[in-house]
Structure 1
Amino acid sequence: MSPSAVASLRLELSLVQPVLRTAAARMWHSDPGLPDRYRRYLRAMHQVIRASVPLMERAAARCGALPRDPVARPLAGYLRAHAEEERGHDDWLLADAAAAGTAPDELTGPVPPPHVAALVGAQYYWLEHCHPVALLGYIAVLEGNAPAPGLAGRLARETGLPLAAFETVRLHADLDDGHSSDLDRLMERLPLDTAQRSLVAVSALHTVASLAELFDRITAVPTEWESPHE
């Protein structure tokens, strides 16, 4: 993807990201419900992040079935390397939950609700039935909207939970900016055709909308979050 195409993707995202930022601001609003919202956030993000490495590994494997596609080989190399960087991050969330007083099986036991499946599952569809490059749109959004520096400390102060409960928030604030730069460099050198560029953009826009919905549901009252009829 040429630098101008990277800029085009960033421009498209800039038009919709205020929706995501507003949803995040509501979720992190300081009020008496913040500790419980944070625990719901940990559960939801564990359901999302535990899929990250399997998604990248499957997308890299799909690249292997496209030997004549000039995008496939560099894309597979990036995905395999990034999967190793992301490996174990779901365990960070389990440790945070334990520090926040939540048992691990409260994160691993429940069936993920449809809105989580919609966020993650669309990527499986696109990488299997369109092209694995779709996953770059998903990664661009997740890593382009890292927690703000200082958020972990503020949340610890305002929730009264121990700072150890916010390690994933703190670490992703430090790591994801560099990961976004790596992704931009990859996209600049990938020879994406028009359809592939469109697929990356569609994936990214879907991810913004689905992630904003996820944050809004975390912010909602617990009875809505827990409903089996979501």
Structure 2
Amino acid sequence: MSPSAVARLRLELSLVQPMVRTAAARVWRSDAGLPDRYRAYLCAMHQVIRASVPLMERAAARCEALVDDPVAPPLARYLRAHAEQERGHDDWLLTDAAASGTPPGELTDAAPPAHVAALVGAQYYWIEHSHPVALLGYIAVLEGNAPAPGLADRLARETGLPPAAFEAVRLHADLDDGHSADLDRLIGRLPLDPAQRSLVAVSALHTVAALAELFDRIATAPTPTGERP
């Protein structure tokens, strides 16, 4: 995939990513329901992020089983390294949940809803039944929609929750821009054929739609009092 192909992927995503940003803005709107929505966000993102390392490890293992595939060796190396960069990030969310007043067991014991399974589970399908390069589309969207700088400080002010409840938001705002640049360089170097390029794009577009739905559900969920936030 050439640098121009990377630019095409980013252009395609730029046309649909407003869906995610609009839904996220509704989650972070300033009103009395913001603390409850933030706690719901921590739960949902824990369900998503705890799958990140297993997904990358499975995709790397699939790459290592592919013979005579020029994409597989560099992709496997990237996935193994990136899995180590992401390891433990789900624990950040558990720590933040505890600081926000939510017992971590409420996150770890909750059954992931269908929309979370749809977001993450599609990647398992493509890894197993198509090509592990699909995971690059998923990573591109998640890291391309990192929390905005300053969001953690605003949430701490407006929710009244302790600053320690926002470390995952703060850290991902700092880290994910660099990860996105690394990913673009990898995609630009990989000798992807047309089917593989299409798979990366399909995975990315699916991820945009599923992530927007996740945020929409958080934004419209009833508060514990039964009122809309």
TM-score (norm 1): 0.96
Is structure 2 residue 139 aligned with structure 1 residue 155? no
Alpha-carbon offset, residue 223 of structure 1: 7.0
- The 2-side partners of 1:111 and 1:223 are apart by 19
Q: Match of 2:7?
A: 7
| 2-structure distance, mates of 1:221, 1:177 | 30
| RMSD after superposition | 1.2
CA distance in structure 2 between the aligned counterparts of 1:37 and 1:116, rounded to whole angstroms? 16
1:74-85 superposed matches below 5 A = 74-85=74-85
Report whether the alignment pairs 1:102 with 2:102: yes
Check the 8 A contact 2:36/2:223 in 1, yes or no. no
Name the structure 1 match of 2:130: 130
Tell me the SS of whatever aligns to 2:192: coil
Q: Which runs of 5+ in 2 are unaligned?
A: 225-229
Aligned-partner residue type, residue 188 of structure 1: G
1:146 match: 146
Provide the residue aligned with 2:17 in structure 1: 17
Partner of 1:92: 92
Residues in 1 aligned to 2:190 and 2:168: alpha-carbon distance in whole angstroms: 31
1:195 equivalent in alignment to 2:204: no
What is the TM-score normalised by the length of structure 2? 0.97
The residue that corresponds to 2:185 in the other structure is 185
Q: Quick one: distance in 2 between partners of 1:2 and 1:221?
A: 42
What does the per-residue CA deviation read over 1:24-56, in whole Å, with 9 as the maximum and x for residues that have no partner? Answer: 000100000000000000000000000000000
- SS for the counterpart of 1:222 is coil
Amino acid at match of 1:192: L
Distance 2:210 2:85 in 1: 24
Identity among equivalent positions (%) equals 84
Deviation >3 Å, runs of 4+: none
Alignment partners' CA distance in 2, 1:223 and 1:151? 22
Aligned to 1:42: 42
- Please state how far the C-alpha of 1:110 moved relative to its aligned partner: 1.2
Distance 1:45 1:36 in 2: 14
How far the C-alpha of 1:222 sits from its partner, in A, is 2.9
Q: What's the offset of the Cα at 1:221? A: 2.5
Partner of 2:208: 208
Partner of 2:17, secondary structure, is: helix
State the alpha-carbon separation in 2 of the partners of residues 135 and 111 from structure 1.
Answer: 23
Aligned length: 225
CA offset digits 1:75-134 (Å, max 9, x no partner): 000000000000000000000000000001110111100000000000000011000000
Q: Which runs of 5+ in 1 are unaligned?
A: 225-230
